[in-house]
Chains A and B, each alone.
Chain A
Amino acid sequence: MNLVWLGQPECHNPALTGGKAANLSRLAVAKITKINKIGLHSGYSVPPGFCLTAAAFDRTFCADNTELSEPVRELLSDAYRRLAEQCKSEWPGVAVRSSAADEDGQTASFAGQYETYLNVKGEEAVAQAVKQCLSSASSERVKAYLRQQGLPTDQTRIAVLVQQMIAADVSAVVFSVNPVSGNSDEVIINANWGLGESIVGGTATPDTYTVRKSDLVVTERQIARKQCMTVPVPGGTREVKVPVLLSKEPVITDIQAVEAARLAMALEQEMGWPADIECAWKNEKLYLLQCRPVTTLKK
């Protein structure tokens, strides 16, 4: 099983696809029935995608260990074409990210430790991005992180997730509990214009919204002066300044803040742990992009 699609049962297996892809795969087909009172009726909107599994890792590279092997390239090309059909676009932009078996675990987030390639378009570009993702798995930076977290450094076999990229109007990182105070009745939302990279990477000061879970009331809004945002441009992404008239505007409404809070609460129930999620709005629709356990909570 070298290539699996999000939503396929095989893809739910973290040993095969890594924590990130496995979580998303499960959520892509999850029915939100028992939590209808929270207000989400159907399922989670997970953008379609596929995963080159960790099982493929050994056969991924050619003998000289620099180029992807021909079978793997074909596998990727076929899958990209199928994804294009699903996205109803000839050259859909995709996000190519690593998904390590030990990443997105409950003790260490691995956030930002592996390379991510955004707005990758075309079969050749996808193959290149996958190759670089795999190479980064053995980088010194990752090994240092593993050592620091007390994890073994000799078996970093990773899977690569290729997923339709949402050219977001607004992105948010949402915690289903307050990660600072530990208050479990609070959902904390960080949001900014454009893609989520400016929030995750810490280059922008995002807006912060607090929603009280018990009655779904927005209890606090800190509207930041947002200096920059990440946007997709041909060939990748770029960080640009936020136009002056938008920099001090709230990026989401209270209704959207509650929508994000409901999503976080549903995920917390579904996964059974406090969730740290990335999500994005595009044309008023809320997409779920990542879901992992909150790692910094005091036990």
Chain B
Amino acid sequence: MSDMKQAPLIPTPPGFPVEWDEPGDAKLFWVHDLTHYSDQLTPYDFFTVKDIFETVADKVNQAYHVPLKTFCRHFNTYFYSASVPQLGPIEEMIAQNKLCWEKLNAAMGNLWNRWESEWLPEVKEHLAYWEACDLKGVSVTKLSEYLNETDQRVRRTWEIHLLLSYPMVIAISLFEEMYRDLFGNAKPFEAYQLLIGFENKTVESAKALWKLSRQALASPKVCKILTDSSPSEVRQKLSDFEQGRAFLKEFDSYLQLYGKRSNNEVLKNPFWIEDPSPVIKNLQNYITQPERDLTDELKKQAEDRERRLAEVREQMQGYPKPVSSQFNFLLKAAQEGNRLREEHTHWIDFSVSYHQRQVVMTCGICLAEAGVIDSKDDVFYLKPDEVRESMAELPKITDRRSVVKDRREKEKRFSAQPAPPVLGTPPSAPPPDDPILRAFFKVLGVPPVPSSIPGELKGSPGSGGTVRGKAKVVRSLAEAGKLNPGDILVAEYTVASWTPLFASIAAVVTDSGGVLSHSSVVAREYGIPAVVGTGMATIVIKDGQTVEVNGDTGTVRVIE
């Protein structure tokens, strides 16, 4: 390695000067994580994520013997990470790799069972702790205690998150690869058809919302309010009459169950239960749609899956036993992984983050009242350590208002500045072609290859089929209102809270992600084409253009 020539530093745009925090940082290859955190992050969000990706992930990497170390940096308010393989003597690496596979195999073979019997009960226990925290009128001492306890519990739940993510992602990836190896003439996505049609929290919440839309349709008055009012007025208007109040009650119980979600999984933004506008927008969309039976659709999907599986098993009858045993092993693990993908997001990414936000926000109220900061939302512009210190010092006050002001200004300054996809020094060699690394790339996506055909955009195939429609560039869920049934959703990326949109769109195109990212998975569940990881769809495609999406080849063509 040492005799290899060091590649030169990647140049940065003039508006994006980079100061290297640590010696050696300039020599690392920094990737802007478009899949998880493409938006700017506040300091509170960044340091929460950094702690998870650096400290917690380290622990999990050790548990699985994955020789990888991740570093996180907050360059000009954007989130960057660098993963560095921990290379050692070759014999040691081989021994590590063997242990790694042993651990992963054991974890893949017991994924759902471990989730149900061990991980989920523990996550629920943490959630119960937060449910029991009385944040109204809490004393400063008690709140500080809650905050410290919350940090510990968040760290532990994210440890569970990472512990389950590795075998989950790798099982799905290995299964898909095995399927293609065994059936050389397989169509793209055929393997994924064998993984869908199971109940999960995402499907469950979509069904509940659909049911709610049918309840709204039953009352012309409720329906009219939903159609004609802006989301902020809906609640007020509904509470004026009997049927409206009855509907609100149903609406609130939906929010209680599924409203601990947000649009982009960061602490700074309100969750649905706090601001249900995204839910109301989804309802407005749903009530315009014709009758359908989501339970029946899921059942049909499951029947299709079983039919396909029977065909596959027939094909495999004469295959060597070790091959069919491994196929069965990976099929089970991948089916469980696919279910778990939706489940864990509901319980950890959303529910845990929701409660964490409530505790931090309450600290914000407390610090704002004391005058440490101006408003409760300023708390997210402090680092977790600063919040802890300020809370501990109360009633003594350290004025943090100017720090917050600087950080808010910095955020504003860089908000219009697109973050370069990569920084630092490119690696001197491509990453080794390893099944584990390949699995991660399927989630994160690979850099797109520019198309040589004018008007054509190249990405990765995410879900099969070809369709034409009007493109709508949707940068956040708040903009989802402009989608009409049959439109093509063009987004930077999508997360679980976007899932209800998939019921009415004709196709999805994203800037980031791979064949295992949220957009691809959900598109396949809904049977619509998806092209993901184009790198620039939201920049190149304009609202209202007619585009053709080919989910089998991974191309998008602008027609007019």
Contacts and interface: CB of A to CB of B under 8 A. Distances in A.
Interface in B228-275: none
Nearest to B324: A169
B320 A170 contact: yes
Interface SS, B side? helix
Interface of A: 93, 119, 167-170, 193-194, 229, 231-234, 238, 240-246, 249, 283
Contact of B318 (A232, A243, A244, A283): A232
B208 to A, nearest CB: 39
A244 B322 contact: no
Given A240-B184, A241-B181, A246 B323 contact: yes
Contacts of A243: 177-178, 181-182, 323, 326-327
A243 B175 CA distance: 9
8 interchain residue pairs of minimum CB distance? A232-B318, A167-B318, A241-B181, A169-B320, A243-B178, A169-B321, A193-B320, A231-B319
Nearest to A282: B321
B36 to A, nearest CB: 27
Contacts of A244: 174, 177-178, 181, 435
Given A231-B318, A234-B314, A234-B315, 6 more contacts: A232-B319, A238-B184, A243-B326, A245-B101, A245-B178, A246-B322
Interface in B165-194: 174, 177-178, 180-184
Contact of B317 (A167, A168, A194, A283): A167
Contacts of A167: 317-319
B326 A194 contact: no
Interface residues of B, number: 21
Nearest to A193: B320
A47 to B, nearest CB: 14
Nearest to B180: A241
B240 to A, nearest CB: 63
16 contacts: A93-B318, A193-B322, A194-B320, A229-B323, A231-B318, A232-B317, A234-B314, A240-B183, A240-B184, A241-B180, A243-B182, A243-B323, A243-B326, A244-B174, A245-B435, A283-B321
Contacts of B326: 243, 245-246
Contacts of B174: 244-245
Nearest to B438: A244
Contacts, number: 61
A172 to B, nearest CB: 13
A242 B327 CA distance: 12
B184 A241 contact: yes
A233 B184 contact: no
A240 B323 CA distance: 11
Q: Which of B101, B180, B182 has the most CB of A within 10 A?
A: B182
B161 to A, nearest CB: 25
Contacts of A234: 314-315
A193 B323 contact: yes
A231 to B, nearest CB: 5
A231 B180 CA distance: 15
Contacts of B319: 167, 194, 231-232
B320 A233 contact: no
Given A243-B177, A243-B178, A245-B174, A168 B320 contact: yes
Contacts of A246: 322-323, 326
Contacts of A170: 320
A165 to B, nearest CB: 8
B115 to A, nearest CB: 23
B523 to A, nearest CB: 26
Nearest to A247: B181
Nearest to A192: B320
A110 B327 CA distance: 37
A193 B39 CA distance: 49
A249 B322 CA distance: 11
B322 A240 contact: no
B507 to A, nearest CB: 31
Contacts of B320: 168-170, 193-194, 229, 231
Contacts of B181: 240-244
Nearest to A228: B181
Contacts of A245: 101, 174, 178, 326, 435
Contacts of B315: 233-234
Interface string B436-454: 0000000000000000000
B317 A240 contact: no
Contacts of A238: 184
A195 B132 CA distance: 63
Contacts of A93: 318
Nearest to B181: A241
Contacts of B323: 193-194, 229, 231, 243, 246
A243 B176 CA distance: 10
A249 B183 CA distance: 21
The interface centre, meaning the residue of A238, A243, A244, A249 with most chain B CB atoms within 10 A of its CB, is A243
A76 B183 CA distance: 33
B42 to A, nearest CB: 42
A104 B101 CA distance: 45
B363 to A, nearest CB: 48
Contacts of A242: 181
A119 B177 CA distance: 26
A168 B317 CA distance: 11
A232 B320 CA distance: 9
Contacts of A229: 320, 323
A233 B322 contact: no
Contacts of A249: 322
Contacts of A231: 318-320, 323
Contacts of A169: 320-322
A170 B321 CA distance: 9
Contacts of B314: 234
